[in-house]
Amino acid sequence: MKDPTDTRDIGPRAGSPLWTYLAGVITIGFTALFVAQLRLGADEYLTLFRSELFWILAVLVVFGHLRSVVMPGALPVGGTPASVMFTFATLLHFGLAAATLLQALAVVVHGIVTRKAWHRIVFNLAQLTLSFTAAAVVMGAYGVRPNPSTPWTPGGDDVLPVVLAGLAYFGVTAALVCGAVALHERRSVLRVVRATVGYQGLVHGAMLGLSPLVVVVMDHSVALVPLFIAPLIAVYSTATLSMRRDHQAMHDVLTGLPNRKLLHNRTDEALAEAEPPMRVGLFLMDLNRFKEVNDTLGHAVGDRLLQLVAHRLTHSVRPGDMVARLGGDEFAVLLPTIRSAAAAREVATRLRAALNEPVRFEGMTFDLDVSIGIALYPEHAPNFETLLQRADVAMYLAKDGRTGVESYSSQRDRNSPSRLNLMGDLRRGLDRGELTVFYQPKVSLETGRPVGAEALVRWRHPTRGLVPPSEFLPLAEQSYLMRSLTQYVIESALEQSARWWAAGTPVQVAVNLSARDLLDSTLPDVITASLSRHGVPTTSLQLEVTERILMTEQAYSADTVRILADLGIPLALDDFGTGYSSLVRLHRLRIEEVKIDASLVRRVADSRDDAMIVRSFVECVRSLGMRSVAEAVEDSRTAEMLREMGCDVGQGRWFGEPMASEAFTEWIREHGADPAGAACERRPLGVVSRSGG
């Protein structure tokens, strides 16, 4: 498998900054190469090719270029070829033309053997030619201009020009390579330089420092030159051992990907370099149902699957992005630079699409599925640990919601400081009586008279003011507060209902139950006690459950649902039309009322298709002996169309805004209750809900 941290051999897009940069370096480099070769005459070439030393150097340069000395931290720019020592010695002894000729031969052979992309081969040749040209210019400034006819051997007085020539060679090499890497990976040039030059400087210094000694030995005896292979092997072996240890400490053994430690380091670097408006992105991804593969086919197949996932990820990310494995089937992707949250989601969607392609090996086909969570700096977190934690929250939101990709949202993070504070305030608010119930009329579409009400819970926070139900209800549903909130609503609704009954205006009230409520075995006892305490019949209460919750197998089979139905408490289905309910199944659950979702009702007057859907719902509901209620009726045209369809009840701003209990009591007295709706013992109407309305 390819080294995941290596840049991919994909040619740059024509016209891009990287393409322009490479084209410029290649043009100048090859011009310098041709000029250097043209400066030698035929006699000098003949002298060079007749030299036994030249061919020995050629062998050493070609084979040395096939092995690079790589130090920890040098991966972005690659290693230092072991041939540098002999190529620089050729420059010192035979001159620029001979050195660039041998270098060109070594680069081409290396490119063919390692199957490098053509643009990398020609760029490497061009940048090395420019590096040797810079060194030759420095030497020429000191009057040193060797050629095959008059080779040069440095003496004790020539240390300065040799050192300066070596610095020029290294400086040009580092500048050109770091510039290309920075453009390829969309990173700061200074960041690449700081990360690599120190390591590369050590290796270059050791090799270039030996080059003058090679020249002196060459001048004394050609047969002694191969002895320099021994110190070269020592340098190579030491660097390789150091690199192997560093790799083991920073990479995952199974996939070869960076581990959490290296991801942490690279993320810290990216955060330090981040400049507005660019952001840093961190993805956390988890393979869905991977445990089934291990349990069914064994860990060997699971390991191969993880390796394949790693391979796909490294070949799907952008240049400069890092893929890491955190353990098990969890992977992370670091985006050192990303423009916006939308761009981050686009990258995540592309990665998910790449991973979702079926996998085939050993005659089997696997369908992969992955959930990805996105966290961004600086919006979501200021450091690596918090970014990772919030990417984890987003990933589980994607997994729970089966959406595939989710960005972090503090409103949906049950562990965020703001939500924890709000949860504490909600608990205190319940104790202090800060929650109240408002009522919105429900009107018979046939008679136009009120038949009940929907009660909407409101929380007036002492410092934040009115808190929307969309903020505190999901928070309560994910915590222990759900039971207390449900009991509070039941008690408040039945207390108000008892007042209406005592005043001769019986109104049925219904409390919206959550999924957690349906699994609460104590709920029937709580409801029975409250009904008895306020002296109202069971038919004065209606329990409203959303279609999504009621249609789950868990809710369908829950003892709570059965016990409540046996007590004679009618059930109502809310948000009908948003899921995949079976009306026959609803009938088995003894549903008495179906509320058509507001999203459909709002489009009845403008969409023929939606009008047909609503009409079919009304007819089906009526055929099963249930009532139909239309939510969000906001104009007379919609109300009239619903009446013509045969819908029983309408609710919305067209009939009345939510009101406090006292105001609603006056309103219903003024408008007069429908006698059909007052017969609560037979078929009472009206609903109380904790949802936002």
Report, as residue numbers or ranges, the catalytic residues: 329
What residues contact 439, with CB distance under 8 A and at least 6 apart? 453, 454, 455, 456, 658, 659, 660, 661, 664, 688
Q: Which phi and psi (to 5°) does residue 455 adopt?
A: -100, 135
Contacts of 298 (CB under 8 A, 6+ apart): none
186's tokens: 């969309």
Mapping DSSP onto H, E and C, the string for 412-457 reads HCCCCHHHHHHHHHHHHHHHHCCEEEEEEEEEECCCCCEEEEEEEE
- Contact (Cβ atoms closer than 8 angstroms) between residue 442 and residue 629: yes
Strand 405-407, strand 370-377: pairing: parallel
Judged on CB neighbours under 10 Å (0-12, 13-18, 19+), 610 is middle
Tell me the angle at which helices 17-38 and 118-141 cross, rounded to the nearest 10 degrees. Answer: 50
Contact partners, residue 299, CB within 8 Å, separation at least 6: none
Q: How far apart are CA 586 and CA 561, in angstroms?
A: 12
Chain centroid to CA 247:
26
Residue whose structure tokens are 């139905």: 565
215, amino acid identity: V
Q: Which residues contact 386 (CB under 8 A, 6 or more apart)?
A: 380
Question: CA 503 to CA 336: how far, in whole Å?
Answer: 68
d(CA 218, CA 513): 91
The structure tokens 């109407």 sit at: 685
Cα-trace Rg, the chain? 38
Q: How far apart are CA 9 and CA 146, in angstroms?
A: 38
- How many CB atoms are located within 10 Å of the residue 38 CB? 9
Other residues' Cβ atoms within 10 Å of the Cβ of residue 428: 11
The residues with which 150 forms a beta bridge, in sequence order, are: 147
Q: Which residue has the tokens 């199957």?
A: 115
Amino acid letter, residue 350:
R
The answer to whether the beta carbons of residues 3 and 256 sit under 8 Å apart is yes
Report whether 538 contacts 567 (CB < 8 A).
yes
Q: List the end-to-end C-alpha distance of the chain, in Å, as a whole number.
A: 56
Residue whose structure tokens are 């030249």: 54
Q: Tokens for 256?
A: 């070869």
CA separation for the pair 387, 399 (Å, rounded): 18
Q: Which residues contact 639 (CB under 8 A, 6 or more apart)?
A: 445, 633, 650, 654, 655
Closest-CA residue to 172 (of 52, 29, 43):
29
CA distances from 239 to 76, 247, 286 (A): 16, 12, 36
Prior bond to 684 cis, omega within 30?
no
**Torsion sign over Cα 602, 605, 610, 616:** positive
